[in-house]
Amino acid sequence: MPLQTTQVPNNWLERIGGRDASGWLGSFRADAQAAIDALMWDRFYLGPLNLVERSQLLLGWLEVLDDQDGFATNLDSVLSKWIENNWAKQSDAPIEAVVSAWSCVNSVVQSSASLRNESRLHRAAQVLKQRFVTRHSFLGSISTTPGADPLGLYLAAIAEFQADRSLAGFWHRMCDLGDGVPFYHARYAMLGLRRLPAANNLEAGTLRSEVVRGLIRLTQAFERLVREHRLGENQAQNTLRRVAAQTAAAYPDSPNWKRYGLDAVLTLPEKAQDWLMEGVKPLADAVRVEKNKNSETHLYISPDQRPDSFGYEGFRDIVAKIESRQSIGLDLAEQLLSEQRSYAEITGETYFVARSLCFFADRAMSWRRDFSENCALEAIHWEPRNRVTWTTATNVLAHERKFNLALIVAWVAYDKFPESLIVRRSLAALLSKVRRQEEGNAVRAAADQAFRDGSVNEDVDSLERSYRSTAALQDDEQRVLRGLPNIASDSPLFEFLVPAFIAEASFYRRWALDAAADTARGRQATSARLLEQASQLSPDNPEVEAEKFALAVDQGEAETIRIHLKNAVSSHPGAAPLLALEAKLKREAAAAQKLPLNDDSLNELIAPVTRLRELNGSFAALFHLQKGLATLALSDGSVRVEQAAQAFSDFRKNLAIRADEERIEREALTDKRERMNLRFHEWLLPRVEGQFFSGMSQSTDVASGAMPVVEAAIEQHRRELEEIEECLVRRVSLAAV
pLDDT tens column, 725-736: 999 999 998 988
Q: Is the pLDDT of residue 149 over 80?
A: yes
Across 301-317, average pLDDT: 75
- pTM given for the model: 0.91
Same-domain check for residues 340 and 272: no
Best mean pLDDT range from 59-73, 287-301, 441-455? 59-73
> Long-range contact list for 190-193, CB < 8 A, 24+ apart?
190/214, 190/215, 190/218, 190/243, 190/246, 190/247, 191/155, 191/156, 191/159, 191/160, 192/155, 192/158, 192/159, 192/162, 192/167, 193/168
Across 537-563, average pLDDT: 94
Distance between CA atoms of residues 439 and 98, nearest Å: 41
pLDDT tens column, 86-127: 999 888 899 999 999 999 999 999 999 999 999 999 999 999
pLDDT for 297: 39
pLDDT for 75: 97
Same-domain check for residues 607 and 654: yes
Q: Which residues contact 139 (CB under 8 A, 6 or more apart)?
A: 102, 150, 151, 154
Establish if 79 belongs to a structural domain.
no
Distance between CA atoms of residues 198 and 165, nearest Å: 8
Q: Is the pLDDT of residue 157 over 80?
A: yes
pLDDT for 1: 43
Across 318-343, average pLDDT: 95
Establish if 137 belongs to a structural domain.
no
490: how many CB neighbours lie within 10 A of its CB? Answer: 8
Instruction: Please tell me the least confidently modeled range out of 88-92, 560-564, 631-635.
Output: 88-92
pLDDT for 17: 86
Residue at a domain's end among 303, 334, 356: 303
Q: 212, 279 in Cβ contact below 8 A?
A: no
Same-domain check for residues 272 and 395: no
Domain that holds residue 408: 312-458
Q: Which residues contact 459 (CB under 8 A, 6 or more apart)?
A: 422, 673
Same-domain check for residues 580 and 550: no
Establish if 562 belongs to a structural domain.
yes
Establish if 138 belongs to a structural domain.
no
Considering the chain, what percentage of its residues have pLDDT values greater than 90?
Answer: 77
pLDDT for 380: 96
pLDDT for 240: 96
Best mean pLDDT range from 254-268, 668-682, 686-700? 254-268
The CA radius of gyration of the chain, in Å to the nearest whole number, is: 27
Count of domains in the chain? 4
Host H or E run for residue 101: helix 95-112
pLDDT for 488: 80
Same-domain check for residues 523 and 402: no
Across 688-698, average pLDDT: 88
Q: How many residues does the chain have?
A: 737
Q: 169, 381 in Cβ contact below 8 A?
A: yes
Establish if 152 belongs to a structural domain.
no
Residue at a domain's end among 572, 593, 609: 572
pLDDT for 461: 64
Q: What is the DSSP string of 413-452?
A: HHHH-TT-HHHHHHHHHHHHHTT-HHHHHHHHHHHHHHTT
Across 503-518, average pLDDT: 96
Give the distance, in angstroms, between the CA of residue 127 and the centroid of all CA atoms in the same chain: 21
Across 311-332, average pLDDT: 94
Per residue, what are the HEC states of 272-324?
HHHHHHHHCHHHHHHHHHHHHHCCCCCCCCCCCCCCCCCHHHHHHHHHHHHHC
Same-domain check for residues 564 and 581: no
